[in-house]
Amino acid sequence: MVEPLESKPRTIALLIDGDNAQPSLISDIMAEAGKYGSLTVRRIYGDWTTSNMQGWKDTLNASAIQPIQQFRYTIGKNATDSAMIIDAMDILHSKLVDGFCLVSSDSDYTRLATRIRESGVFVMGIGKRITPKAFVNACNVFIYTENLDVKEPAPRGKKSSKKAAAKDEKKKFDPVPLLKGAYDMAIQEDGWANLATMGFYLRQLDPSFDPRTYGHKQLSQLLKSQGRLFEMRFQETPGSTDIFVRIKE
């Protein structure tokens, strides 16, 4: 569920930890971050003299992302973190943007995300599902890359092992506790809760909430799949349709 953009489009600094991100997902990452604002600052950090950064070179020019060189002065130490954090604080204090998108699965960015939020500035994170919960919860929104890495269906008669594994992983997650919690926070006096309001509270309860984690593109589809527990009502309004949700008695 994406929060509605304000009348004045939000501007976002996209900062990528090149050591903790996948080049193959850069288009998906930019599209996801772009849902929350205009990506006016685009930078990726890493030691470009090392072989593990080679995969990024073909994608940077096409994506208009500026590579920032950071040498590793000590073996085993990640200097990328420090360079990205310093740049982020400079951008924050210069008030160049209204929000940040930090692309990494590294817990070292937890304090940075917290500091940005303390300044009243929007911050989202994008990383793998192994990302420590502390970093996830420090963001307003956190998107798991596993929800972006969706491949085309396998040819008839063949089943993609990767897609099958992803489907099995989804079975481990139960959305009901979160959905009930958001419903309780959004419920109105008539017993119905507005779907958009539920979406807002779901992000408050868990910044990483995403219907795609449970196999659905939209929150309304996820709730529809929980028909044994929830019922839905549609109300036509000028130019749109409002959706309301209620727990079945």
pTM of the model: 0.74
Once rounded to an integer, what is the mean pLDDT over residues 128-142?
94
Average pLDDT over the chain, rounded to an integer:
83
* pLDDT tops 70 at residue 193: yes
9 vs 162, more confident:
9
Which range of 74-88, 165-179, 213-227 scores highest in mean pLDDT? It is: 213-227
Q: How confident is the model at residue 156 (pLDDT cuts 50, 70, 90)?
A: very low
Q: What is the 3-state secondary structure (H, E, C) of 202-246?
A: HHHHCCCCCHHHHCCCCHHHHHHHCCCCEEEEEEEECCEEEEEEE
Which range of 21-25, 47-51, 117-121, 166-170 scores highest in mean pLDDT? It is: 117-121
- Domain coordinates of the chain in residue numbers? 11-150, 176-247
CA atoms of 99 and 121, how far apart (whole Å): 6
CA atoms of 44 and 33, how far apart (whole Å): 15
Q: Give pLDDT, residue 240.
A: 82
Instruction: Decide which of 3.10.290.10, 3.40.50.1820, 3.40.50.1010, 3.90.1150.10 is the CATH code for 11-150.
Output: 3.40.50.1010
Once rounded to an integer, what is the mean pLDDT over residues 179-208?
90
Residue 138 Rama label (left phi>0; alpha psi -120 to 50; beta): alpha
Tell me: the pLDDT tens digits for 52-108?
A: 777 787 788 778 888 888 776 555 445 667 889 999 999 999 999 999 999 999 999
Q: What CATH code is assigned to 176-247?
A: 3.30.420.610
CA atoms of 84 and 223, how far apart (whole Å): 39
Once rounded to an integer, what is the mean pLDDT over residues 31-44?
92
Contact 165, 149 (CB under 8 A): no
